[in-house]
Amino acid sequence: MHQNYSRRSVDRAYPYQASIVKRTIAIALVFLLAQYPLAMIYHAYITSAAVTNLVIHSLLLSIALGVSYANRWRIARTILTMTYLSFITCATIIWQQDLCIQHFLLFGVLVSNSFYLHHEKTRKRVNIALLLIMFLTLETYFLLPFDHWLATIRLVNSVTLVLVSCVILALIQHYANQRWQQLKALQAKTNDVVESFLPQPQHLKQTQWPVGYQERFDNVCVLFADLHGYTQLSQHYDDDEIVAILDSLYRQFDQLASRFDIEKLKTNGDEYMAVAGLPFKTDSSLTKHDCIENAVLFAKHLVDAVNSVFAQLHLPCTIRIGIAMGSVTGGVIGSQRPCFDVWGKTVNRAARLEQCVTPGYIAVCNVIARILQTSDSRQTLLVQRDNDAHYVLVPETITCV
């Protein structure tokens, strides 16, 4: 039962091929049924074998059509191919006359080229070769014993027709493959752009985060980073140059985020917001301590990157960072330009820590400070300012990796 369900799920995944097969079967059945009135009008000239051939293959096409509507288009494709070959072969043998019925096999070559998926190249080639070989066999059957020179000319023309058909099919397949690769590359770029706004939730088993859906997450580290001295840039650079500096700096931030399994959420002017511990790209085996470790090392690298960039520009600019850990609510709200975001007290706490910390330092909440003090050698200092206490990491105890 499980295997049948999985097979049907795979069959439904290719609506284009399923639709082509279904419509081809329906058209073939209509044309076959249209021969019944002719059989009744010319019944004196039609043998019982011809009628039997017509009835049997009409039933086979009806079965194939029913199978295709049951979302088993692969089986329907096989029934259609065998029925098509069988009907033309039997009709040719029964009539014992050259009515050019075999030329319909070339039409089958053209149509069956759309029946197969990209990875079914071998099956497609076997099917096309079978149709072409059957066409030449029936042509040779009517031309035997080649007692006239016209028979030889016709056989040569038939072979030429087969070769030309192969060349045309090869060209069509070549350009189709080129277009397929272009579409795959474009789809990959599109998915990357969409994923940057709507990350892929592995726990939901969906391509993108559903718009309008929110979920609560525990043990998430929220990080806010703000450039201190940003206003001084306007005194030395114009707007375009400032944007270029920010772009270069944020690109470094993004590379560091990928390195430490950090999910960047957004930027707001000179403010950078990111999280660690969400079930997106982050390894599900990471512990609570691992998330804190990644967030702290990421913050240390942010400080070093900012100091390096502005030291080269000879500007007294630095960065201040606040990190808080706790529960957040994540999701996508609104309908225009949807973007994943998080909300909650943990977010507000991280923002307050960033605002109150001394520039060039990293402020953490008491949860992170307690875990760091009990698990490794990093030192934290308790800072009391305006009735608001927070912990600051001692920069010398943070080892970059």
For 98-151, the pLDDT digits (tens) are 777 888 888 888 888 788 887 888 888 888 888 889 888 888 888 888 778 888
Across the range 167-173, mean pLDDT stands at 85
Which of residues 357 and 5 earns the better pLDDT score?
357
Q: How far is CA 85 from the centre of its chain?
A: 37
For 1-18, the pLDDT digits (tens) are 334 444 444 455 467 888
Question: Could you tell me if residue 326 is left (phi over 0), alpha (psi between -120 and 50 degrees) or otherwise beta?
Answer: left
Q: What pLDDT, on a 0 to 100 scale, did the predictor assign at position 194?
A: 72
Q: Is the per-residue pLDDT at 249 higher than 70?
A: yes
Across the range 46-74, mean pLDDT stands at 92
**Lowest mean pLDDT segment, chosen from 15-19, 32-36, 53-57, 323-327:** 15-19
Give the tokens for residue 201. Answer: 């939730």
Q: How far is CA 235 from the centre of its chain?
A: 46
With a pLDDT cut of 90, the percent of the chain lying above it is 26
Q: In the 3-class helix/strand/coil scheme, how is 85-106 assigned residue by residue?
A: HHHHHHHHHHHCCCCCHHHHHH
Q: Against a cut of 0.85, is the pTM above it?
A: no
Q: What pLDDT, on a 0 to 100 scale, did the predictor assign at position 385?
A: 59
Give the tokens for residue 245. Answer: 């500096």
Q: What pLDDT, on a 0 to 100 scale, did the predictor assign at position 1?
A: 37
Give the tokens for residue 313. Answer: 């520009």
* pLDDT band, residue 401 (cuts 50/70/90): very low
Q: What pLDDT, on a 0 to 100 scale, did the predictor assign at position 111?
A: 82
Q: Is the per-residue pLDDT at 395 higher than 60?
A: no
Task: Assess contact for 263 and 257: CB atoms under 8 A.
Answer: yes
* pLDDT band, residue 311 (cuts 50/70/90): confident
Q: Is the per-residue pLDDT at 302 higher than 90?
A: yes
| Residue that is written with structure tokens 């288009």 in the block | 73
CATH superfamily for domain 214-397 = Nucleotide cyclase, GGDEF domain (3.30.70.1230)
**Lowest mean pLDDT segment, chosen from 60-64, 211-215, 265-269:** 211-215
H helix intervals, 260-388: 288-313, 345-356, 366-375
Which residues make Cβ contacts (< 8 Å) with residue 105, sequence separation at least 6? 85, 88, 131, 132, 134, 135, 138
Nearest to 369 by CA among 352, 353, 386, 390: 390
Which of residues 97 and 61 earns the better pLDDT score?
61
Q: What pLDDT, on a 0 to 100 scale, did the predictor assign at position 6?
A: 46
Across the range 282-291, mean pLDDT stands at 73
CA distance 228 to 208: 35
What's the whole-number average pLDDT of the chain? Answer: 83
- 269 residue type, one letter: G
* Residue 327 half-sphere exposure toward CB, CA atoms < 13 A: 3
Task: Assess contact for 327 and 218: CB atoms under 8 A.
Answer: yes
Q: What pLDDT, on a 0 to 100 scale, did the predictor assign at position 7?
A: 46
**Lowest mean pLDDT segment, chosen from 44-58, 226-240, 347-361:** 226-240
CA distance 30 to 209: 46
Query: Domain extents for the chain?
Result: 2-194, 214-397
